[in-house]
């Protein structure tokens, strides 16, 4: 698109690439190498640019002290269930919006999508007493139910956009064969919709895994705490900051989403940007 | 994808295929109403429980006094709102939010757009670079806060070290303990973690750019600047609108990284609305005031949301 045959254009291009690239990637590099620096090397006014004496001591303390493994386990349980629930809900709703025509469809869709507008913090004020009265405060179930707030609207829209492209002939042929609607959806539509469904699953997973606000508020007991607030409460206090441990624990806590994302990022981008480019 | 799906599911063209050309426009016919709602029901129930009900309750709380001294909410009409108008603190957090949203959205749009245009060029390593660019976005917010908290650290932070070495500052800056420094830190963190998403939107938009038109303009002697100004930017205008609107909605709501980095401080320098509402509700347990502020917060999001939803529902 750009013509980079001239020297100036090429220079400008490379400089911009370098600058923005440095801004994006240097922090991640810094996170990674700081985790491998011993304390003597870490706490220096003029830092070393790479670990001269790499060490795993911070990983040892990260796993040893605090409850990193327990927090990871809790996060895994909550995020997986939240993602599964969100995907199931969004799947049926998206299919309904895409393939059925009924009075009220458009307003309901508008309502569901408008949920994005309500600030998570505002909903939390009343989710707290609601979860309390349901006996779900400080339970993983309560937390995972609350995570529907984050992901459901966009997930529904993502699957709606996808199902809209599935040809009606597919459904009509099955109907002509006498198949029921649920069966058609489960045995014909879903098998050809694996990529978007997986994308939506990952989307829900990411929101739950990365959240701090809800996890910090709706979970009180240490044994049910998830990794976001777990990290914060273990490492971020003014008096006693263990930055090496924080960096090591951060690497461990980021690994699951980063790995999942590495495999699925192509589908993911298509899904998330659905609807923006018309 | 259409034909591939048909082939994979092994559907043979039959009589049903013939009517479908007419049926398609109006959607599918038989019993759709009931079944359509049935498919929708689970999502609607969940929506009612965790979104609609909490919102309506907050709406109710906003007109009551409901705090630690008054456990049973007492209706006070517009009392909370009057208090907000008379409180420089709360009005201040609206101003802080505005500054934060404008800075974070503005910088992310500019850098995200530039990055997308750069990565739209063909060069070796582009695919890998695109994939890697998404990293900041998938990291847990606490991790983002750690990364930047460490970079901005007053004693051992690499930013101070770099600025000192370059001679740009005479002595280390305590970034997170000054108002401007703390605002800088939370904006930089948010810009950094949002660039990937904005970039993805712009890249998706750039795919629809008419190459032939650009090539024709090139033949007519248009330079890079002219191509960007006359072709690329006008083409991206609708995407830009969506990105700005989504960005504003997201930034108006941002809580995690700010809370973890500065906790709203020093004093109230980074107390945006999300922090304000959280502190009122969960530190002071003043649910009435928190809800009232929250409602005004929704009002600030509404214009952006209106534009966004109208765009999404185009042609539904």
Q: How far is B67 from chain A (nearest CA, A)?
A: 12
Q: How many domains does chain B have?
A: 1
Q: Check whether B5 has a pLDDT greater than 70.
A: no
B303's CB contacts (< 8 A; 6+ apart) are none
Same domain as A196, residue A152: yes
**Do A35 and A102 have their domain in common?**
no
Residue partners of B21: CB distance under 8 A and separation at least 6: none
Tens of pLDDT, residue by residue over B35-92, are 889 999 999 999 999 999 999 999 999 999 988 888 888 899 899 999 999 999 999 9
B5 token code pair: 């799906």
Q: What is the DSSP letter of B74?
A: E
Instruction: For B152-165, write each residue's pLDDT tens digit.
Output: 998 899 999 999 99
Same domain assignment for residues A79 and A43: no
Regarding pTM above 0.90, the answer is no
pLDDT at B258: 96
Give the pLDDT score at A67: 86
Report pLDDT for B4.
33
> Hey, are the CB atoms on B26 and A99 less than 8 Å from each other?
no
Q: Examine the domain organization and report whether A51 and A166 are in the same domain.
A: no
Q: What is the pLDDT of residue A240?
A: 63
Q: Which residues on chain B are in Cβ contact (under 8 Å) with A24?
A: 115, 133, 135-136, 192, 195
Does a structural domain hold residue A277? Answer: no
Question: Residue B8 and residue A265: Cβ atoms within 8 Å?
Answer: no
CB contacts of A191 in chain B (<8 Å) are 8-9
Q: Are residues A111 and A241 in the same domain?
A: yes
With 90 as the cut, is the pLDDT of residue A265 above it? Answer: no
On whether residue A2 sits in a domain, the answer given is no
Q: Helix/strand/coil (H, E, C) string of B251-272?
A: HHHCCHHHHHHCCCCCCCCCCC
Look over chain B and give the mean of its residue pLDDT values, rounded to a whole number: 86
Q: How far is CA B290 from CA A124, A126, A271, B58, B125, in A?
A: 11, 10, 35, 9, 49
Q: Cβ of A3 under 8 Å from any chain B Cβ?
A: yes
* Residue numbers in B near A85 (CB within 8 A): 46
Which pair of structure tokens corresponds to residue B209? Answer: 């750019």
In a domain, B67, yes or no: yes
Task: Please give the residue that has the higher pLDDT: either B16 or A140.
Answer: A140
pLDDT band at residue A277 using 50, 70 and 90 as cut-offs:
low
Does one domain contain both A17 and A121?
Answer: no
**Residue B295: is its pLDDT beyond 50?**
yes
Cα dist from B293 to A227, B60, B100, B247, B269, whole Å = 30, 13, 18, 21, 18
Q: Is residue B48 part of a domain?
A: no
Asked if residue A190 and residue A91 are part of one domain, the reply reads: yes
Within-domain flag for A162: yes
How do residues A67-115 score in pLDDT, each as one tens digit? 899 999 999 999 999 999 999 999 999 999 999 988 889 899 988 888 8
Whether B1 is in a domain gets the answer no
How does pLDDT run across A204-240, given as a tens digit for each residue? Answer: 998 999 999 999 999 999 999 999 999 988 887 655 6
Q: Is A278 part of any domain?
A: no
What pLDDT does residue A266 have? 72
Residue A143 sits in a domain of what CATH number? 1.10.3720.10
In terms of domains, do A42 and A169 share one? Answer: no
C-alpha distances in angstroms, B126 versus A2, A4, A21, A271?
15, 15, 12, 21
Q: In terms of domains, do A90 and A179 share one?
A: yes
What distance in Å separates the CA atoms of residue B93 and residue B112, rounded to the nearest whole number?
27
Is B203 part of a structural domain of the chain? yes
The count of domains in chain A is 2
Cα A271 from chain centroid (whole Å): 13
A216 and A250 inside one domain = yes
- Higher per-residue pLDDT: B107 or B20: B107
| Domain-located, residue B19 | no
Query: Which CATH number fits the domain that encloses residue B111?
Result: 1.10.3720.10
In a domain, A102, yes or no: yes
- Considering only CB atoms, B309 lies closest to which of A113, A165, A258, namely A113
Length of chain B, in residues: 316
Residue A1 lies in a domain: no
Domain range spanning residue B165? Answer: 58-312
Residues A27 and A87 in one domain: no
Report whether pLDDT(B115) > 90. yes
Task: Quick: pLDDT tens for A164-208.
Answer: 988 888 888 888 888 888 899 999 999 988 888 988 998 899 899
**What is the pLDDT, as a whole number, of residue A261?**
82
CB contact at 8 A, B169 and B285? no
The per-residue DSSP string of B161-194 comes to HHHHHTTS-SS---GGGSHHHHHHHHHHHHHHHH
Query: Average pLDDT in the B165-188 region?
Result: 93
Nearest-CA neighbor of A206 among A251, A257, A159, A158? Answer: A257
- Domain span at residue A260 reads 61-272
| A contact residues 181-240, partner B, Cβ 8 Å cutoff | 181, 185, 188, 191-192, 206, 209-213, 217, 227-229, 231-232, 235-236
């Amino acid at each position: 698109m750009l013509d980079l045959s001239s020297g100036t254009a090429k220079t400008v291009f490379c400089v911009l690439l370098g600058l923005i690239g440095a801004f994006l990637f240097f922090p991640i590099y810094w996170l990674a190498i700081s985790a491998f620096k011993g304390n003597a090397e870490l706490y220096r006014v003029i830092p070393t640019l790479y670990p001269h004496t790499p060490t795993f001591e911070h990983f040892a303390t990260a796993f040893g002290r605090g409850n990193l493994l327990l927090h990871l386990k809790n996060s895994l349980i909550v995020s997986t269930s939240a993602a599964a629930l969100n995907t199931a809900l969004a799947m049926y709703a998206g299919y309904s919006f895409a393939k059925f025509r009924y009075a009220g469809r458009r307003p309901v869709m508008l309502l569901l999508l408008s949920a994005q507008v309500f600030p998570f913090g505002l909903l939390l004020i009343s989710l707290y007493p609601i979860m309390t009265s349901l006996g779900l405060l400080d339970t993983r179930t309560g937390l995972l139910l609350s995570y529907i707030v984050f992901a459901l609207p966009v997930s529904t829209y993502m699957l709606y956009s996808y199902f809209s492209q599935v040809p009606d002939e597919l459904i009509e042929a099955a109907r002509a064969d006498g198949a029921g609607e649920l069966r058609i959806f489960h045995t014909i539509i879903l098998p050809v919709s694996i990529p978007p469904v997986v994308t939506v699953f990952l989307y829900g997973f990411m929101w739950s895994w990365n959240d701090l606000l809800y996890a910090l508020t709706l979970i009180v007991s240490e044994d049910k705490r998830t990794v976001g607030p777990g990290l914060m409460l273990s490492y971020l206090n003014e008096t006693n900051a263990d930055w090496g441990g924080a960096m090591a624990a951060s690497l461990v806590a980021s690994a699951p989403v980063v790995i999942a994302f590495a495999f699925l990022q192509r589908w993911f981008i298509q899904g998330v940007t659905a609807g923006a480019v018309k | 994808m259409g034909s591939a799906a048909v082939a994979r599911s092994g559907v043979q063209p039959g009589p049903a295929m013939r009517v479908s050309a007419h049926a398609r426009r109006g959607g599918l016919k038989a019993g759709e109403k009931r079944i359509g709602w049935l498919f929708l029901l689970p999502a609607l129930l969940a929506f009612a429980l965790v979104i609609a009900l909490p919102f309506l309750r907050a709406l109710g709380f906003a007109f009551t006094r409901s705090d630690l001294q008054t456990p049973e909410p007492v209706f006070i009409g517009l009392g909370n709102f009057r208090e907000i108008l008379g409180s420089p603190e709360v009005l201040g957090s609206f101003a802080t939010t505005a500054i934060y949203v404008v800075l974070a959205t503005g910088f992310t749009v500019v850098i995200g757009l530039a990055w997308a245009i750069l990565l739209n060029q063909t060069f070796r390593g582009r695919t890998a670079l695109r994939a890697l660019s998404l990293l900041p976005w998938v990291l847990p917010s606490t991790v983002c806060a750690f990364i930047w908290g460490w970079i901005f650290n007053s004693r051992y932070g690499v930013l101070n070290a770099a600025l000192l070495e370059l001679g740009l500052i005479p002595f280390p800056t305590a970034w997170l303990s000054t108002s401007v420094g703390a605002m800088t830190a939370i904006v930089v963190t948010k810009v950094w973690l949002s660039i990937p998403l904005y970039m993805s939107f712009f890249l998706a938009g750039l795919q629809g750019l008419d190459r032939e038109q650009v090539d024709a303009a090139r033949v007519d002697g248009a330079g890079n600047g002219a191509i960007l100004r006359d072709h690329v930017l006008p083409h991206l205008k609708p995407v830009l609108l969506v990105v700005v609107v989504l960005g504003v909605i997201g930034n108006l709501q941002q809580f995690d990284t700010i809370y973890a980095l500065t906790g709203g401080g020093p004093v109230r320098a980074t107390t945006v609305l999300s922090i304000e509402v959280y502190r009122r509700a969960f530190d002071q347990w003043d649910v009435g005031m928190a809800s009232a502020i929250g409602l005004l917060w929704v009002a600030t999001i509404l214009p952006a949301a209106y534009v966004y939803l109208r765009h999404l529902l185009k042609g539904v």
